[in-house]
Amino acid sequence: MVRGGKIALLAAATLLTAHVASPYAATWRMWQAARAGDAETLSALIDWQQVRSALKQDIADGIVGMRTQELVASNTLAPFGSSFMAGIAGSIVDRDVTPEHLAIALRGLRLDNRATDQGAISYAFFSSPTEFELALRAPGQDDDDPPLRLKMVWHNFGWQIVRAIVPQDLMEQASFDD
């Protein structure tokens, strides 16, 4: 192989390795920013508008919180009540799903005498060259609890979280009181 071909192959291998490692580095950076309460870094690494929108849809679909069927069964004005509850849930998501509240919630998860438990990645994989999915066991979560699932996309030469599927136990544990 000619020298130019070897250099091109080495450059391609280096770029591929960097791309494969980059979502893990971004995840580590997000975790450190959340632990440090660095709202500026979290704002850059998470598309809060998309994450909030998806969480609102999860609540409306009954994936987290009270199931839609239970809301309807407990309400004599079902269509109005269901849309009213979705509106309230949407307002709460808009108010509480912020970089600052993420840091507060993570601090709260570590206060249960498991300070040495830093959480762990359950799985991580590329679903396409520009999409990466991972599941995290949060600090204090049991091994059999469902993980926090995140979807990241490659955007403007960096990874950004665009979707978070938050298990019910973490939703219940989150406390936004300082």
Residue 26 and residue 162: Cα distance in Å, rounded?
Answer: 13
Tokens of 79: 């269509």
Q: Give me the residue spans of the domains in the chain.
A: 22-173
What span, in angstroms and rounded, lies between the C-alpha atoms of 95 and 14? 42
Q: Per-residue confidence of the chain (178 residues) as pLDDT tens digits?
A: 678 889 999 999 999 999 999 999 998 898 888 777 788 888 889 998 999 888 888 777 766 654 444 444 444 544 554 555 556 667 777 887 877 777 666 665 554 444 455 667 889 999 999 999 999 887 777 778 888 899 999 988 899 999 988 887 777 665 544 4
The sheet carrying 120-128 orders its strands as 120-128, 131-137, 148-155, 158-165
Cα gap 148→128, rounded to integer Å: 20
Record: fold of 22-173: Nuclear Transport Factor 2; Chain: A, (3.10.450)
Cite the beta strand spans of 9-168 per DSSP E.
120-128, 131-137, 148-155, 158-165
* Cβ 144 vs Cβ 35: under 8 Å: no
Encoded tokens for 144: 């059999």
What distance in Å separates the CA atoms of residue 159 and residue 112, rounded to the nearest whole number?
31
What is the reported pLDDT for 67? 43
pTM value is 0.71
Helices then strands, counting H and E runs in the chain, come out as 7, 4
**Exposure string (b/e) for 96-121, b if CB count within 10 Å is 16 or more?**
bbbbeebbbbbebbbeeeeeeeebee
